[in-house]
């Protein structure tokens, strides 16, 4: 928030304060004085905050915090021991009912086809008592959800999936004794069919049969010590898991199980840990201990029917943990960070690191040589690319400033890589509750009201208001993403309107610029395209992701090109030409009608749409994982939003030129009766849409209606916000500040606020979710703001105003892009015969 604006606001008298007149009574004087003091304290408070907490100071603090966090997490991994595989098996907590969160990593929910792919041609053996049998059934239900427990007790059970040749066996060995040892030793013989994965555990029968005697405990420990040797041998060829005993609900246990107490189970677990760990004195045991299910059972054992066997939801937690431990390293799901080794950097990632390091070297050389020509230009708005003219002559951006910007970008990209491509910081999965979405929403709107300022202009959708609009929408979308609110359909549908509103503003902003300025030059086109795409193109290389992965940027880029083509093609109709003859207005409407027909042609012919965008090399921009479907879905969902924005801009600018609106300070936009009628209809429309969105049953049906009715909510908001004169006269500088970096916020969230490509949440401060969100948000916002400035700096260097120089650079870029695409196409592996 600008200090000048705050100071100006503080100097203004309170609304309604009399100009020196004496108050009629002491009570009125007291009230007036109290109100005046409250306003003064409010203004001074904002000024103090803005003076001492500047953006520059915030970025310095965030840099120090990042360095400390990197050192802390690296030291914790190195000296504290443990990895995400150990965390998965040993620690965790419930986020909500039946939703288990391992410590510091994310669990993937495996589907049947994924489990079959991972376990194809493998043998899995479960060995133990009835509780291991329960775990066995939960495990095979992931492979075959239709599998039912057939009730076989005290017997071996075999499961086979013929399509994938997966074999899963349960072997009844209720005690850790010679019988279990002999079974394990038989698998160690040369030529025997060894299981690829072994899960075993036992103790309750030993306690039950021997009434919990100390002799039985000692025998159990001796047996496990003997069993540990073949287990270690089997672990050389596969994976071996020992399941620690889950607690029991002693009050519900039957009489013949009363001796199975939690105290006894703790003693047996301690004996198992000692015996298995002592088998490898000089190195770490390869037998993995499954402890997390015990932690989960501590919170759910009260739901057990017989006090011994776990409820199904807890057994499913154990099966999911095992599936993630076995399969994550094989299938590498993006939302399964537990027990997964990250791939090494590829060639392009290494080259980008070399490029940024080279830029740092050049910058240091220029710094030593004393090349100090540097001016940071005023950053323009991406939607219209307008900027304030500096009061003094601007010094051109020097070479040193350009390489300094690249150095800053390299440091930031290093942070991106550490957050979401390196095994440094932790990640956790999202979990939606109403409080995680609505409480932060209330906080930010209170802050938005706190930073209310007087607008410099009172036109409809003036610059400050559109920045405010983009800002609060972006903050809502961020909260929506981090809280996982897409699971709640009413919130999902309202956020869909916000995305449509962004595209509406795209149409409104670009149409207004072309209509008023008539600047269709190549320089402006390249400026807009560079500012929209620079960050995403860098991330595509550094984070090894396709362009379409950051779907919003391809979307707004596509629509900018469409808007440009629509208005730039002959005849170019500008406001100046339309003022001379009203017939030109019909020409604009004809162009918009042609654009509408173009949209409908694509929307109602998916085959035609896919055939166009699947053509090489265009397909490289719009394919995701080899399919055009994601682009089709995103494009179709808000296909009319841009043309709605263009049409609204046209009508508004025509009315404004013909003085059909009153946009003075404090004046209603229309005459009183019309204003009141439009306000009433807008409020009714707004509420009606919200009621409809809240009654949605599934996303598919509501998404079909969304393109046609989202404009109702958008127009209702615009009219409610702009018809009253007092509403146009104020804006939230808090929201407007975020609105100026809304594009960077939207893109940066993918990797440094969220995690695992938006599937999870980045954890910088483990063990304290609230503090973690505060710290990660602070760094995230500082990074987004800095990237906005870097993009502005580099745009001045990369996009020269001289047409010939610009064409030469475009030619060089086009040539290298074509070479890279041809090499990528040539290196594509041939399909199997």
Catalytic residues: 130, 306, 309
Sign of CA dihedral 537, 543, 546, 549: negative
CA distance 745 to 748: 5
Pairing label, strands 754-755, 760-763: antiparallel
CB 686: neighbour CB atoms within 10 A? 17
CA distance 445 to 463: 20
DSSP 487: G
Continuous segment of H or E residues that includes residue 164: none
128: left (phi over 0), alpha (psi -120 to 50) or beta: left
CA distance 275 to 272: 5
Pairing label, strands 288-290, 99-102: unpaired
813: left (phi over 0), alpha (psi -120 to 50) or beta: alpha
CA distance 589 to 594: 9
Place of tokens 């009835």: 130
Pairing label, strands 92-96, 239-243: unpaired
Residues 647/592, Cβ–Cβ less than 8 Å = yes
Residues 169/124, Cβ–Cβ less than 8 Å = yes
DSSP 343: P
CA distance 511 to 520: 11
CA distance 524 to 519: 7
Q: Where are the beta strands (DSSP E) in 462-585?
A: none
**In Å, what is the CA distance from 115 to each residue of 123, 161, 334, 798?**
13, 11, 15, 49
Q: What is the dihedral of CA 119, 123, 129, 135, to 10 degrees?
A: 10
Pairing label, strands 197-201, 123-128: parallel
Residues 706/496, Cβ–Cβ less than 8 Å = yes
Pairing label, strands 426-429, 760-763: antiparallel
Paired tokens of 21: 């007149």
3 state SS for 346-411: CHHHHHHHHHHHHHHHHHHHHHHHCCCCCCCCCCCCCCCCCCCCCCCCCCCCCHHHHHHHHHHHHH
| Residue 440, phi then psi, degrees to nearest 5 | -60, -30
* Spatial CA neighbour of 502 closest among 758, 700, 743, 690: 743
Strand pairing partners for 206?
none
For residue 703, give every residue at least 6 positions away whose Cβ sits within 8 Å of its Cβ, in sequence order, or none: 496, 637
On the question of a cis peptide bond just before residue 571, with omega within 30 degrees of 0, the verdict is: yes
For residue 12, give every residue at least 6 positions away whose Cβ sits within 8 Å of its Cβ, in sequence order, or none: 454
For residue 474, give every residue at least 6 positions away whose Cβ sits within 8 Å of its Cβ, in sequence order, or none: 738, 739, 742, 745, 746
Continuous segment of H or E residues that includes residue 200: strand 197-201
């Amino acid at each position: 928030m600008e200090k000048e604006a705050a100071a100006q606001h503080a100097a203004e008298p309170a609304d309604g304060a009399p100009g020196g007149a004496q108050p009629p009574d002491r009570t009125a004087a007291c009230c007036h004085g109290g109100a005046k003091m409250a306003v003064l304290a409010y203004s001074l408070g904002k000024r103090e905050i803005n003076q001492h907490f500047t953006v520059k100071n915030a970025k310095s603090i965030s840099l120090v915090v990042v360095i400390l966090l990197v050192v802390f997490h690296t030291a914790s991994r190195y000296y504290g021991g443990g990895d995400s595989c150990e965390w998965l098996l040993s620690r965790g907590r419930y986020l909500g009912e039946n939703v288990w969160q391992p410590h510091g990593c994310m669990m993937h929910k495996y589907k049947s086809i994924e489990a079959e792919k991972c376990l194809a041609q493998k043998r899995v053996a479960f060995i133990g008592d009835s509780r291991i049998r329960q775990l066995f059934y939960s495990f095979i239900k992931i492979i075959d959800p239709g599998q039912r427990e057939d009730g076989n007790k005290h017997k071996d059970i075999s499961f086979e999936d013929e399509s994938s040749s997966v074999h899963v066996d349960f072997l009844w060995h209720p005690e850790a004794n010679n019988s279990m040892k002999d079974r394990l030793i038989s698998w160690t013989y040369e030529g025997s069919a060894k299981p690829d994965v072994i899960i075993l555990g036992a103790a309750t029968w030993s306690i039950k049969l021997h009434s919990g005697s100390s002799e039985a405990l000692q025998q159990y420990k001796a047996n496990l010590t003997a069993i540990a040797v073949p287990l270690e041998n089997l672990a050389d060829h596969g994976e071996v898991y020992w399941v620690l005993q889950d607690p029991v609900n002693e009050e519900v246990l039957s009489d013949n199980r009363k001796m199975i107490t939690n105290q006894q189970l703790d003693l047996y677990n301690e004996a198992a840990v000692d015996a298995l760990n002592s088998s490898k004195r000089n190195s770490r045991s390869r037998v993995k201990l499954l402890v997390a299910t015990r932690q989960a059972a501590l919170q759910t054992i009260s739901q057990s029917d017989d006090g011994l066997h776990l409820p199904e939801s807890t057994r499913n937690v154990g099966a999911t943990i095992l599936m993630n431990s076995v399969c994550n390293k094989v299938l590498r799901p993006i939302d399964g960070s537990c027990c997964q080794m990250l791939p090494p950097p590829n060639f392009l990632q290494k080259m980008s690191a070399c490029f940024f390091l080279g830029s740092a070297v050049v910058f240091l050389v220029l710094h030593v040589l004393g090349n100090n020509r540097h001016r940071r230009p005023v950053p323009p708005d991406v939607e219209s690319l307008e900027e304030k003219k500096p009061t003094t002559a601007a010094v051109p951006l020097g070479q040193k400033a350009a390489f300094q910007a690249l150095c800053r970008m390299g440091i930031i990209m290093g942070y991106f890589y550490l957050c979401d491509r390196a095994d440094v910081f932790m990640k956790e999965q999202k979990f939606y509750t109403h409080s995680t979405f609505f409480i932060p929403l209330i906080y930010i709107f209170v802050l938005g009201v706190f930073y209310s300022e007087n607008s410099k202009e009172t036109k409809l959708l003036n610059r400050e208001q559109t920045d405010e609009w983009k800002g609060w929408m972006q903050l809502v979308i961020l909260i929506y993403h981090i809280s996982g609110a897409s699971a709640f359909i009413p919130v999902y549908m309202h956020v869909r309107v916000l995305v449509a509103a962004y595209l509406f503003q795209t149409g409104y902003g670009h149409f207004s610029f072309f209509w008023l300025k008539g600047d269709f030059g190549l320089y402006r086109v390249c400026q807009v395209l560079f500012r929209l795409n620079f960050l995403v193109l860098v991330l595509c290389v550094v984070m090894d992701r396709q362009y379409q992965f950051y779907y919003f940027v391809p979307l707004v880029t596509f629509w900018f090109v469409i808007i440009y083509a629509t208005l730039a093609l002959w005849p170019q109709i500008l406001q100046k030409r339309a003022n001379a003859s009203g017939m030109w207005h019909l020409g604009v409407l004809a162009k918009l009608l042609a654009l509408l027909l173009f949209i409908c042609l694509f929307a109602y012919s998916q085959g035609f749409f896919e055939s166009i965008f699947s053509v090489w090399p265009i397909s490289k921009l719009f394919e995701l994982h080899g399919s055009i479907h994601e682009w089709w879905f995103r494009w179709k969902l808000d296909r009319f939003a841009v043309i709605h924005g263009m049409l609204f801009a046209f009508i508004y600018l025509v009315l404004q030129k013909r003085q059909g609106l009153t946009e003075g300070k404090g004046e209603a936009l229309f005459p009183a009766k019309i204003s009141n009628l439009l306000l009433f209809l807008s409020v009714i429309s707004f509420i009606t849409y919200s009621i409809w969105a809240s009654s949605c049953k599934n996303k598919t049906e509501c998404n079909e209606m969304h393109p046609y009715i989202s404009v109702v909510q958008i127009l209702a908001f615009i009219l409610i916000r702009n018809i009253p004169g007092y509403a146009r006269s104020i804006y939230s500088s808090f929201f407007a500040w975020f609105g100026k970096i809304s594009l960077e916020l939207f893109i940066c969230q993918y990797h440094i606020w969220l995690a695992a490509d938006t599937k999870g949440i980045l954890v910088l401060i483990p063990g304290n979710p609230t503090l973690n969100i505060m710290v990660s948000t602070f760094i995230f916002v500082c990074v987004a703001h800095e990237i906005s400035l870097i993009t502005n700096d580099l745009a001045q260097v990369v996009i020269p105003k001289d047409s010939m120089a610009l064409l030469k650079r475009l030619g060089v870029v086009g040539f290298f892009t074509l070479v890279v695409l041809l090499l990528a196409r040539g290196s594509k592996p041939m399909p199997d015969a």
